[in-house]
Chains A and B, each alone.
Chain A
Amino acid sequence: MAKKPAAKPASRAKKAAKPALSAPSDDTDFILHSLQEEFEKKKRFAASDEQMLEFYKQMLLIRRFEEKAGQLYGLGLIGGFCHLYIGQEAVAIGLQSALDGDRDSVITGYRDHGHMLAYGIDPKVIMAELTGREAGISKGKGGSMHMFSTEHKFYGGHGIVGAQVALGGGLALAHQYNEDGGLCLAYFGDGAANQGQVYETFNMAALWNLPIVFVVEDNQYAMGTASSRSSAETRFHRRGTAFRIPGMEVNGMDVLEVRAAAEVAFKHVREGKGPVLMECNTYRYRGHSMSDPAKYRTREEVQEQREQHDPIERLKKALMEGGHDEADLKTIDKDIRKVVTEAADFSESSPEPNPNELYTDVLVGEY
């Protein structure tokens, strides 16, 4: 066990900028489950009361925001594709609450509203993007699937399934190149997990020791296809094995478990030990997009998830056990509903983009 990865000193992070100093294939003792063992030691994050309340508020904001977005879609105020994050809130909050906001970057696919809200970005500019208004965060030119906040190092918002994984590899390369100590958190779904470029990226990320955490948000359905019908290996954390990327299997319906897993994964990456593949098992209550009647699963299945595994209810219970009364939590909900209503009003009343905007931002330079 001379070269067991966990035994490597932190100083290796400095060397990470030079790829191939020691090739991953030199490590004969690679252990897929090394991080899982570490995670199992302390599976739930010991959150303070204040932190728990904050997680609760953030998850509830996503829930209420998405419910409102669904309504606006029904009213015809939101067009095109709109993928809701309801049910998956614990994943974004658990992971992103553990980031170092000054240096870490995040990238995801098209189900991106929750990840933006997790940053505390004003719900108004997100909702206004959904309605395609000038005040939207992409000036109304991106829509639901294409939102970005470079200020927060949030790099979108990508519509081609799996493309964000390779782009995330590039963001990680930039962290390594600039030696800024940051890492990239790259989310993708169980559907994207079958795209070839995901594995091309795994290979290079491991080969070059890139600071990246790959997160499979396994919501069990790739659009309408159950993962067991599309994937030979549905335990997605195992899929890094061929590239010597350690895997972690996490209950994505428990924000404290996700947060605990994030701590283990981020520590590993920050110590210069290369990428991590985390599988967060979660569930989306709504269809793949607004136009999906979700006939590929039973009402009972959805009901069971809502009643037994809901991440917000779980945390609510914990808060009440910790001494918060129902009335307090109701007040929080009321305040959040107000914020969301204001965002919706703003998104409806904001003007559409000026027609001149059609021709702006095609190129940066003038030629």
Chain B
Amino acid sequence: MAIELKMPALSPTMEEGTLARWLKVEGDTIEPGDIIAEIETDKATMEFEAIDDGVLSKILVAEGTENVAVGTVIAHMEGEGAEEGPTPAPTPAPAAAPASKPTPMPTASAPAPVVRANDPAIPEGTSFTPTTVREALRDGMAEEMRADPRVFVMGEEVAEYEGAYKVTQGLLDEFGPKRVIDTPITEYGFAGIGSGAAMGGLRPIVEFMTFNFAMQAIDHVINSAAKTNYMSGGQMRCPIVFRGPNGAASRVGAQHSQNYGPWYASVPGLIVIAPFDASDAKGLMKAAIRSEDPVVFLENELVYGRTFDVPDLDDHILPIGKARIMREGKDATIVSYSIGVGLALEAAETLAAEGIDAEVIDLRTLRPLDKEAVLKSLAKTNRLVIAEEGWPTCSIASEITSICMEEGFDDLDAPVTRVCNEDVPLPYADNLEKLALIDAPRIVEAVKKVCYV
């Protein structure tokens, strides 16, 4: 009986990969520990190791094949010896989930209703390049590094490893070790060194491998970076960008899954940016680096690999502090940011099929918050739901609710409603994690509720 070798999941968020190279040919004898193939993900090239012995009988997916879904049978192996037990799982064992886990890419399929009232007009005839959010962030940094020699990147694994999530891919090659600095695992220390370098006239980009680890460094983000300009009466600035993935990833447990947007957004003296798509990621990263103020730039691991059109402009820079209408609608407003925007757009599609025309607003910047955009939309639709991948208590959703109460009360035809994560530390189990996190159906339900249908 043949053993099926399946495309392995090599990271918590991997859904597909490229079968870069077979290191064995049909007929080869294989022993446990042999490297059978090389698998390329958007983050790295990994080796696929055998855990059984036998003979490679049939290769089903040729080398060079892209977008091979996790779980796809890529080869057959004839087991040697007597034991021909159940199908073994490749290392590291992926979830036995079906290969076709759909990745929603709402903006890609939407009929381009994207309105960018606040953004500089994109000249007619501009071409667009499909770009992942990961690449867009890197491109934004690289362009600013080319333009300004004061800009440098520091953080754990940013240089030789090219980023734990490959956001700094290629930067070391282009800019060298002086400007792309690997730090030890020492968040408090390098956040302080980064802040001090900014005070001393440089333009640091400090990468936190994830914002969960930035809690060790939050003192410098808040006490050193955010307050210096004020405390010095405008004499001493701290133009720094703290960036990295924020929010839940995929089954990495409570300590690695938290949205710090509301934490940082509560601090005067900070700019807090949390983009969704690749175009905004690039345009706002460039703006963040050029800002004279300290910026917390919250990315999302689950969005890194998504592809969106980015305009081919020499200097695609976007305004900080301005929301973006992602989808125009007249019946209800869904306000969101970061990964929640994708869910909101998905919900809007579902609602449209049911005759409810929802407007989707991406806040993009959490501080300063574009409350005019929120209130303007509320005045139009009279109903508002906030979708936030984060806890409900003292959240951005709470803040938007408060703004609507204080300044939009007369426009409200229904209570402002929050759709947030459950108020619990994020669990590990697949089913519990799904229960804890926001999703499109919950947003749909909330919008229907405020529409009284």
Contacts and interface: CB of A to CB of B under 8 A. Distances in A.
A138 B233 contact: yes
B229 A364 contact: yes
A196 B188 contact: yes
A28 interface: no
A155 B234 contact: no
A102 interface: no
B201 A367 contact: no
B198 interface: yes
Contacts, number: 166
A131 interface: no
Interface residues of A, number: 53
Interface in B134-184: 152, 177-178, 181, 183-184
A232 interface: no
Given A140-B233, A177-B202, A361-B229, A18 B219 contact: no
B233 A171 contact: no
Contacts of A365: 291-293, 320
Interface stretch (A80-88, A158-166, A325-333): A158-166
A43 interface: no
B302 to A, nearest CB: 27
Interface residues of B, number: 49
B231 interface: yes
Interface in B186-239: 186, 188-202, 204, 219-220, 223-224, 228-237, 239
B415 to A, nearest CB: 30
Given A17-B178, A363-B229, A367-B365, A166 B235 contact: no
A141 B200 contact: no
B438 to A, nearest CB: 28
Interface string B277-308: 00000000000000111000000000000000
B152 A170 contact: no
A167 B236 CA distance: 13
B223 A363 contact: no
A149 B224 CA distance: 16
B269 interface: yes
Nearest to A158: B224
Contact of A155 (B190, B199, B204, B368): B199
Contacts of A169: 189, 192-193, 196
B268 interface: yes
A140 B234 CA distance: 11
A319 B223 CA distance: 44
Contacts of A196: 188
Contacts of B234: 139, 360-361, 364
A204 B195 CA distance: 14
Contacts of A165: 192
B237 A141 contact: no
A181 interface: no
B232 A166 contact: no
A170 B291 contact: no
Interface in A108-164: 136-142, 146-150, 155-160, 163
Contacts of B310: none
B319 interface: yes
A165 B220 CA distance: 11
A98 to B, nearest CB: 20
Contacts of B329: none
A141 B189 CA distance: 27
Nearest to A151: B235
9 contacts: A19-B178, A137-B233, A148-B235, A163-B219, A163-B224, A170-B192, A172-B196, A362-B230, A363-B229
Task: Please give me the 9 A-B residue pairs with the lowest Cβ-Cβ distance, nearest first.
Answer: A170-B196, A166-B192, A200-B189, A174-B200, A139-B233, A367-B321, A167-B196, A364-B292, A170-B197
Given A17-B178, A363-B229, 16 more contacts: A136-B233, A137-B233, A138-B231, A146-B232, A157-B232, A163-B192, A167-B224, A169-B192, A170-B194, A177-B197, A178-B202, A360-B234, A364-B293, A365-B320, A367-B319, A367-B320
